[in-house]
Structure 1
Amino acid sequence: MYNIAILGASGYTGAELIRLIAGHSSMKIKALGANSKAGQTMAEVFPHLRHMDVPALVTIDEIDFSDIDLCFCALPHKTSQEIIAALPKDLKIVDLSADFRLRDPEEYTKWYGNPHVALEQQKEAVYGLTEFYRDEIKNARLVAGTGCNAATGQFALRPLIEKGVIDLDDIILDLKCAVSGAGRSLKENLLHAELSEGYHAYAVGGTHRHLGEFDQEFSAVAGRPIKVQFTPHLIPANRGILATVYVKGDAQVIHDTLAAAYADEPFIEVLPMGEAPSTRHIRGSNFCYIGVVADRIDGRTIVVAALDNLTKGSSGQALQNANLMLGIEETEGLMMAPLFP
């Protein structure tokens, strides 16, 4: 049984980690850090988790890490790097923030607007897209979870870029993300009256921070600079991401390439040719569904990927990586079926 700490336990990804670990046979939650809600019980902060026998929330300074085997950091970017830099150097950490995703400190400053203050930890961090960094993650001390949008786009595109079966200079990624992707903090534009009954594009024109991950990862796979055209949209739903990707390439070849790449992956499902997934099909699960449809214009193809931003896009991915880091079966605690309706 491994002892687990969760920092940022009062946020959505923290709550999702607690929910997932409830069904895990080899992990026990020993500490829950949440400075803003320290002193409160889980029943007070998240009533849907009141049945769980977990510690009350405390400040991070109050946690004794001497008997903690692995720590999940579900903190905001900038805060996360400062906290992680001060944690014990032998502690295994899965970070859910953006702070260790980008390998180049200058790129981090460019996309996140502040200099990195934990450069030594950044050097050792392994990018946490499990299906493509599995071997490195197994031996890592610090794993950087991906952005939820970045994960969705990469699942749809990485194998296609690697095999060169699409035009690498003409990739359009149109993505819809549910409101929980923005976190639990109060924001005027996320009020029900502001968000419901419509949806809107944001970070239009190439300003979204997850583009830093796309640039880094796609360019590494291709062996040359790759830039995708990417527009995210905020939809009035609680969970889910749907990425619709427009590429130039033969649909059957694209489908075969994706099917071969994910044939042995427990959480990635490539649908039969011509089918497209919905966020309804993966809600509350660690699965990602990918569909391929031939466009009516010859030589053009549409790839659609769906995942739950809080599970496969964040906390489920984090638990998948933690399993590998601790030598546990990768799927442990993660094989629950999606919620429907």
Structure 2
Amino acid sequence: MTKKIAIIGASGYTGAELIRLISSHPEMEITALAANSKAGLAMSTVFPFLRHLDLPTLVTWEQIDFSQIDLCFCALPHKTSQEVIPHIAQHTKVVDLSADFRLRDPAAYKEWYGNDHAAVELQKSAVYGLTEFYRDEIKAASLVAGTGCNAATGQFTLRPLIGAGVIDLDNIILDMKCAVSGAGRSLKENLLHAELSEGYNAYAVGGTHRHMGEFEQEFSAIAGKPVTVQFTPHLIPANRGILSTCYVRGESGEILQAFYDAYANEPFVKVLPFGEMPSTHDVRGSNFVHIGVKDDRIEGRSTIVTVLDNLCKGSSGQALQNANLMLGIEETTGLMMAPLFP
């Protein structure tokens, strides 16, 4: 039986990506789309690249009867999600793409996002949405909190290594190059073409990026003790993609084997032969993650390069992968499309 799907926040990049993915999903039908700022408009007006699809007209989220919906994707900004989702979650399953339910500790949420959480009980019950590591919990969940795109990239790199005990936990450096779509669709002066193109810059330097909260929560839980990484993201003049270069102290052969062991049966995570390095071009527009490992000329040190598409595997593709599990659908359904190249 086809599942009825709603998307709120449908006028943003992640909302549009969800529509793109679900439009060819054999077991899902989009029956409601909400974007309060653009209510009343056709999706073909907001996103002309979707004009070939027969989609519902945009409404406000309050106009949707969620009792008639099997699952709702919430693609609203953080702080807004926690105000809206308690109303929706009374009626249907929810996959949230914002940051509001990623952190389990309300104090940690306030530390990284600057405000008290408005739905603490739901926050406690939400399942973290990194599918490959929370698969069983996601299957039984009514609310799944999608990861940050940077946080997902870093965790695909480091979770298996921390779990296997093959790296020095006090010497981890994450250097990420992030495409501009990760900043969302709202107008920002520094994202104007004239100010972004032909250069790139570091931001959130000194460990101030909000995804650090996810790193510390998840890595410390695996290690059984506090783990802090050195992380600097960089904004690059590209539309899609994240490339993470991770520097660790550990033997490259053991690191590669830890990846093979962790991802041997994962359909979306591809570990490359030793010494091969991936490019964001290899995963563009897809739900795949590619990981490469190389030893360093400094003895005992290794470099790991991980790439994914921030809008797909880092957000909307991950959300659909989780929704499949929540609805009892084969996990890979609607997500096995080949990357776009060039």
Indicate the TM-score class for this superposition, using the shorter chain for normalisation: over 0.9
Aligned equivalents of 2:249 and 2:51: distance in 1?
50
Amino acid in structure 2 at the alignment position of 1:59: T
CA apart distance, 1:267? 0.2
Match of 2:164 in 1: 163
Q: State the 1:89 CA deviation.
A: 1.6
Once the two structures are superposed, residues 146-200 of structure 1 have per-residue CA deviations (whole angstroms, 9 ceiling, x without a partner) of 0000000000110000111000110000000000000000000100011000000
Question: Hey, what does 1:137 align to over in structure 2?
Answer: 138
* Helix, strand or coil at the partner of 2:67: helix
Is the contact between residue 88 and residue 94 of structure 2 (CA under 8 Å) also seen in structure 1? no
Amino acid in structure 2 at the alignment position of 1:134: R
Give 1:259 deviation, angstroms.
Answer: 1.1
Which segments of structure 1 move beyond 3 Å, counting only runs of 4 or more? none
**Which residue of structure 2 lines up, in the alignment, with residue 174 of structure 1?**
175
| Equivalent position amino acid for 2:6 in 1 | A
The whole-number CA distance in structure 2 between the counterparts of 1:90 and 1:153 is 34
The question of whether the paired residues in 2 share the 8 Å contact of 1:173 and 1:230 is answered with yes
Map 1:142-291 to 2 at 5 A. 142-291=143-292
CA positional deviation for 1:90: 4.0
> 2:66–2:91: 8 Å Cα contact kept in structure 1?
no
Q: TM-score of the superposition, structure 2-length normalised?
A: 0.99
Counterpart of 2:3 in structure 1 is 2
Equivalence for 2:73: 72
Once residues 314 and 36 of structure 2 are traced to their aligned partners in structure 1, the CA distance between those partners, rounded to angstroms, is 25
Measured in 2, the distance between the counterparts of 1:85 and 1:137 equals: 18
- For 1:89 and 1:61, locate their aligned partners in 2 and report how far apart those are by CA, in whole Å: 14
Aligned to 1:40: 41
Amino acid at match of 1:248: R
1:25 aligns with 26
1:12–1:184 contact (8 Å) kept in structure 2: yes
Q: Unmatched 5+ residue regions in structure 2?
A: none
For residues 66 and 270 of structure 1, what CA distance do their matches in structure 2 show?
42
**What secondary structure sits across from 2:314 in the alignment?**
helix
User: Secondary structure of 1:272's partner?
Assistant: coil
User: Could you state the TM-score of these two structures normalised by the residue count of structure 1?
Assistant: 0.99
Is 1:90–1:141's contact at 8 Å kept on the other side of the alignment?
A: no
The one-letter code matched in structure 1 to 2:161 is: L
Partner of 2:313: 312
* Cα displacement (A) at 1:88: 4.3
Deviations 1:284-339 (A, max 9, x none): 00000000011111100000000000000000000000000000000000000000
- Letter of the 1:99 partner, please give it: D
Letter in 1 for 2:295: A
Cα RMSD (Å) of the superposition?
Answer: 0.6
User: Using the alignment, how far apart are the partners of 1:293 and 1:316 within structure 2?
Assistant: 28
Identity of aligned residues (%): 74
Corresponding residue of 2:121: 120
Which residue of structure 2 lines up, in the alignment, with residue 105 of structure 1?
A: 106
